[in-house]
Chain A
Amino acid sequence: MLLEILFSDGKIPAGGLEMKIFQVSINGKTYRVTVEEIAEEAVTKEKTEINSVETIAVDEIINSNKACFVDDIWVIDSGNIIKAPMAGIVVDLLINTGAEVEKGDLIAVLEAMKMENELRSHRSGKVKEIPVIHGQFVNQGDIIIVFE
């Protein structure tokens, strides 16, 4: 496969990449695509996501041989709230109030037992309330997310 990328003005922009229109030619066919440069933080985040997708994919492949097992349940279904599974410090909150969350999305990181424990959503939905703040100590059972 032959892939050529030409900048719309034919030059690499001096001030770095932000939002640029590219002309991409694949196997002789020409496409015009808009490419947006994103902050480094977002890139790291996307990488983590890709990693976790990989994990799930491997599990799915292995589990697909055994259709008789119920789908993996990562978190206990606690209805429209997500509680802290253990006492610890909220070191990262990855969503905001009003965000649409998918089942399995990483929503917060809780530091406990000297480990960064990822909290993932057990359901999809819109976040109504986040009663905790970054850096806050929470006890086991404290509410972290309330869904609508």
Chain B
Amino acid sequence: MNIHEYLQELEGYKNQFKKENQDYKDKTGSLSARERINYLLDSDSFMEIGAFVSSDWENYRGEPENIGREGVITGTGKIGGRSVYVFSQDFSVRGGSLGELHALKICNIMDLALKTGAPIIGLNESGGARIQEGIYGLIGYGNILNRNTIASGVVPQISVVMGACAGGAVYSPALTDFVFMIAEKSRMFITGPQVVKCVTGEEVSHQELGGAITHNQLSGVAHFLAPNETACLDMVRELYSYLPLNNREKPPVITPVIPVVGDLDEILKIIPMQPQKQYDVRRVLKLIVDDSELLEIHRYFAPNVITCLARLNGATVGMVANQPCHLAGCLDIQASDKIARFVRFCDCFNIPLLTFVDVPGFLPGTSQEHGGIIRHGAKILYAYAEATVPKITVVLRKAYGGGYMAMSGRSLGVDIVYAWPTAEIAVMGPEAAASIIYRDEINNSGSPDMILSDKTKEYRERFVNPYWACARGLVDEVIDPRETRTKLIKSLEVLSGKQELRPAKKHGNIPL
């Protein structure tokens, strides 16, 4: 062979491995695995790694067309000019099933991502283990899950469930930081509807069992819900723009855009003066952050609390807030899991935490107690106390009892606590407190209701305000709500060099 023949042979291999299954594309109307990568990354930035990997080499008969592709495309590229490693499973090749070499390709880029300190994005669509390869598929899964765990907290990991993900394929996304799903398209389950029916007799549709809505609203497995493939990949790019490349970096800072505020007094009009009235706390947050933009995480799961990424003066912040227009903004089992997971993510990646408090308390009742609200609520306490990033709390309205403690109360190591003049900080609601403190007086009187209401009023006037907490150093300053944005920006500047050392340990034991 002369050199030109060698080059021709190489060209043949290249064509074979970049070929796409056009029939499959036409049938499903989806983007191909390669098109997804190209859409996600900056144009022409993709560099493929391991293109010629094939478990089919034994069947090679001298013609490149006879070689099967491995069902996953792996490589590296840029999003907004910053590095990222990507793999994209190809459902048109043996159902995207995972065999030994399929897993090897994924592990290879995960290793590179860890060594170079760049995030990993997985575009998942796989029927599970490649059964023809026997236990090699399982070993492959083990290798990926192991790397997911080791990379956790070192580089951000994002999973996009582009279609079906069944069996072993669901655990890798579950170990990553964020899971995206597409409405009416994505689905994830350990065992599919056929197996469910066979084993338990229960009949359930794919979407109901493990669709995007199910996992976004009910199970909390997914963090983002997208209407279609391209919108989903746009959302991934947007999320990526908030994140640092690894745990040694600070998040990126962009040119700040001031929030959309028509009227400076707008922020004074949101919280109703009656403590029993509800409002949408997102309106408050939008008036504080750059460009009025919030990237909500777990938007549809436990909507009684909000967790979101946003920017303040161009820099990424993580925000947690009670949402009074859902379940009164109380803390329950799901909300606890949602907050704790978010706080720990922010702490891993040097994202300062801002907490906005308007909490009536933990949700009472047997379903909560029997479901382990103690164990779940403890996760919030653990996560906040453990976090060493700058922590700032703003008490908007109610801050009662254990709920207040959990919502980043001062004693969990919070750096600065602000309160609006509307704040009510107390050990419990005025009526409950008065009925305990003045129990004898109330019971012994002729008109207990009247005494209770008098005592409640007295208690409210004396103790239910931010100034008592301020006098005791639980609150650093009571601020004019209109100053919130500027105060937060200044405080974050001051705290930017924060360093907090913890005793040496292997790792803590968060209640799970």
Contact = CB atoms under 8 A, between A and B. Distances in A.
A87 B365 contact: yes
What is the size category of the interface that chain A forms with chain B?
A: 20 to 34
A68 B328 contact: no
Interface stretch (A2-10, A38-46, A109-117): A109-117
Given A86-B327, A113-B330, A116-B277, A58 B283 contact: yes
Nearest to A76: B217
B162 to A, nearest CB: 16
A66 B294 CA distance: 11
Nearest to B217: A76
A62 interface: yes
Interface stretch (B77-85, B145-153, B227-235, B471-479): B227-235
Interface string A68-85: 111001001100000001
Contacts of B118: none
A100 interface: no
A100 B283 CA distance: 29
A68 B234 contact: yes
B280 A85 contact: no
A105 B343 CA distance: 34
Contacts of A111: 276
A49 interface: no
Contact of B328 (A62, A66, A76, A115): A115
Interface in A7-35: none
A86 B278 CA distance: 15
Interface string B207-234: 0000001000110000001110001101
Nearest to B260: A62
A102 interface: no
Interface of B: 183, 213, 217-218, 225-227, 231-232, 234-235, 238, 260, 275-278, 280, 282-283, 286, 292-293, 300, 324-330, 360-361, 363, 365, 367, 429, 431
20 contacts: A55-B280, A59-B280, A62-B260, A65-B293, A68-B227, A68-B232, A68-B234, A68-B235, A76-B218, A85-B326, A85-B327, A86-B328, A113-B328, A113-B330, A116-B277, A117-B278, A117-B325, A117-B328, A118-B278, A140-B367
